[in-house]
Amino acid sequence: MRASRFFISTLKDAPSDAEIVSHQLMMRAGMIKRLGSGIYTYMPMGLRVIRKVEAIVREEMNQAAAIELLMPLVQPAELWQETGRWDKMGAELMRVKDRHGREYAIQPTSEEVITDVVRTEIKSYRQLPLNFYHIQTKFRDERRPRFGLMRGREFTMKDAYSFDRDLAGMQASYKVMFDAYTRIFTRFGLKFRAVAADNGAIGGSGSHEFHVIAHTGEDALVYCPTSDYAANMEAAEALALTGERPAATEELSKAATPDTVKCETVAALLGIDLARTVKTIALTAETEKDGKITKQHFMLLLRGDHELNEIKVGKVAGLANHRFTTEEELLEVYGSIPGYLGPIGTQLPVTVVADRTVDKMSDFVCGANDAGFHYTGANWGRDLPEAAIVADLRNVVAGDASPDGKGVLAIERGIEVGHVFQLGTAYSESMKATFLDENGKPAPLQMGCYGIGITRILGAAIEQNFDDKGIIWPASIAPFEVVLCPMGMDRSELVKEQTEQLYAALQGAGVDVILDDRGQRPGAMFADWELIGVPHRVVIGERGLKEGKLEYQGRRDTEATGVAPSDIVAFIQAKMAQ
């Protein structure tokens, strides 16, 4: 490609609404252009990156025997009503009516449509397994679109759907996709991690997220550096502490803690370690029976320095649906105001749920259910009954034991770019997608679904790879692999001739090269390509040529390397192979 036949448009400054570095750099590098809230035009430079991402995804999906088709963007409401998602999806599902008043969804994903396709196409177990995918525009009406392509409303996603005759088959298909994803993210040249994820309300037996590692990531990833264990924060199990609960050494005592409602300030006031305090969270679950609403109150206990994990709370018996107890209810049930709640003296029907760590504590500090007072020296069994329920309620922290017993946990931040999911029969049962098994009996299809956020990859790759000059693309998804920067091509026949020769040689070698023939000054030209992030640059100047040299500089290199014109193609190929 010659720059004069391409469209390059860079900016000195990012627009003020670009909050994160990938958004800022994509705007400055002319890769995207905002059309509306969460809606972007992919400019020629950005589209090249998207196409390279898509090509790698497509190759690996085909290699994994997935079959490409293309499902519509505008999908009839009736299908979404069959699975109940028309109601469940809420405002994120963009809905539209046609001229006859019929309702449609603009697809955020295509489980319903693919299930509709296969329920008429798949008749026999002989046709299985099958895996269909498409790469298509999606729309999700986010409440607060932000971060450019990271949380846009219109975006491109690859979504695949596998169909199997039984659970074992589905798990095998899942494994094939998991491995394909591993190859895809490896080929992208990105540091990534696959982590076990919670299955959420959809059920099913397993799911993994693929994250690009970046300090700026929204998600916390938990992993064990000395084993294979990895999970997202929602799903990472906090084991109980090993060993027995220490014996009590202190007497229960009521300490005045006026205006001191947080564990941090209580610990500071009492001069003790935060890890000796227990915080109390009051939740209420309501159930309706014969028109009568029954409330059940729960008191959750967490060590002062730990964080509550909402997903884990939802799995405690009785807490699938819960809310915070209101201040009015707190007064009525516990006789206390928030900040001074505690488990001592509470009675049925309150259920005390202790986090595994709290269950192993002795001589702890907790609220006294008396405004302005905390207990110190509290001990299970002596000052309060053993907790009715002991459960994993908290987020793990770095240094916790790994659930696989093979080391301690570490935490890093990631950006979710892929998700593989064992769906089971949730969709096939609600949509009656069955096949005839070997005995001629109808059975529901076992499904899996597998997504990659194509456009999000761009943002994630940049969050992981940038410096103060701009983007640093991995070569496999860079808009161009090599840029040629001739100095004064219009003035020097030598420069012109050598540049054209090198351009042709690189193209002949299958290198994706751009020749910057715009005639810009060197400083502006170099700044553009550093901002855009092309990984390899060759400067062709008359002085260098007279010394028998071209100047090669990798995007991460701090200095240029002189290379003889006769060696440069091989030199670049060697760099690209690294």
Cis geometry, peptide bond prior to residue 522 (ω within 30 degrees of 0) = no
Q: Provide the strand spans (E) within 290-383.
A: 292-303, 323-324, 351-355, 364-367, 373-378
- The DSSP 8-state label assigned to residue 387 in this structure reads P
- Return the residue matching tokens 């300030």: 265
Smallest separation, CB 429 to a copy of itself (Å): 21
Residue 9, interface with a copy of itself (CB under 8 A)? yes
Which C-beta is closer to a copy of itself: that of 120 or that of 347?
Answer: 120
Q: Exactly one of 10, 20, 44, 172 binds a copy of itself (CB under 8 A); which one? A: 44
Which C-beta is closer to a copy of itself: that of 369 or that of 455?
Answer: 455
- DSSP line for 154-221: EEEEEEEEEEESSHHHHHHHHHHHHHHHHHHHHHHT--EEEEE---GGG--SEEEEEEEE-TT-SEEE
Q: Exactly one of 17, 87, 121, 404 binds a copy of itself (CB under 8 A); which one? A: 121
**Count of positions on this chain that bind a copy of itself (CB under 8 A):** 50
How far are the Cα atoms of 143, 217, 308, 416, 422 from residue 19, in angstroms, in the given order?
17, 13, 28, 18, 35
What are the residues whose beta carbons fall under 8 Å from the beta carbon of 207, sequence distance 6 or more? 196, 197, 198, 199, 419, 420, 421, 422
Q: Exactly one of 14, 89, 130, 527 binds a copy of itself (CB under 8 A); which one? A: 130
Binding mask 81-120 for a copy of itself (x = CB under 8 A): ----------xx-xxx-xx--x-x-x------x--xx--x
- Return the residue matching tokens 């890890």: 275
Residue 6, interface with a copy of itself (CB under 8 A)? yes
The residue type found at 125 is Y
- DSSP line for 441-484: -EEEPEEEEEEEEHHHHHHHHHHHSEETTEE---GGGSS-SEEE
Residue 433, interface with a copy of itself (CB under 8 A)? no
Q: Exactly one of 3, 23, 57, 132 binds a copy of itself (CB under 8 A); which one? A: 132
Q: Exactly one of 10, 14, 59, 73 binds a copy of itself (CB under 8 A); which one? A: 73
- The DSSP 8-state label assigned to residue 127 in this structure reads G
Closest CA to 421 of 452, 453, 447, 449: 449
Which C-beta is closer to a copy of itself: that of 156 or that of 498?
Answer: 156
Smallest separation, CB 173 to a copy of itself (Å): 14
Q: Residue 198 and residue 220: Cα distance in Å, rounded?
A: 13
Q: Parallel, antiparallel, or unpaired for β 67-68 and 130-139? A: parallel
Q: Which stretch binds a copy of itself (CB under 8 A): 135-143, 244-252, 461-469, 489-497?
A: 135-143
Which C-beta is closer to a copy of itself: that of 51 or that of 356?
Answer: 51
Which C-beta is closer to a copy of itself: that of 16 or that of 242?
Answer: 16
Residue 162, interface with a copy of itself (CB under 8 A)? no
Residue numbers 491-520 binding a copy of itself by CB under 8 A: none
Residue 75, interface with a copy of itself (CB under 8 A)? yes
Q: Parallel, antiparallel, or unpaired for β 103-106 and 94-97? A: antiparallel
Q: Exactly one of 19, 35, 286, 522 binds a copy of itself (CB under 8 A); which one? A: 35
- The DSSP 8-state label assigned to residue 63 in this structure reads H
Residue 70, interface with a copy of itself (CB under 8 A)? yes
Residue 154, interface with a copy of itself (CB under 8 A)? yes
- The DSSP 8-state label assigned to residue 545 in this structure reads H
Residue 143, interface with a copy of itself (CB under 8 A)? yes
Which residues of this chain interact with a copy of itself, rule CB under 8 A?
5-7, 9, 33, 35-36, 39-44, 47, 50, 65, 67-76, 91-92, 94-96, 98-99, 102, 104, 106, 113, 116-117, 120-121, 130, 132, 136-137, 139, 141, 143, 153-154
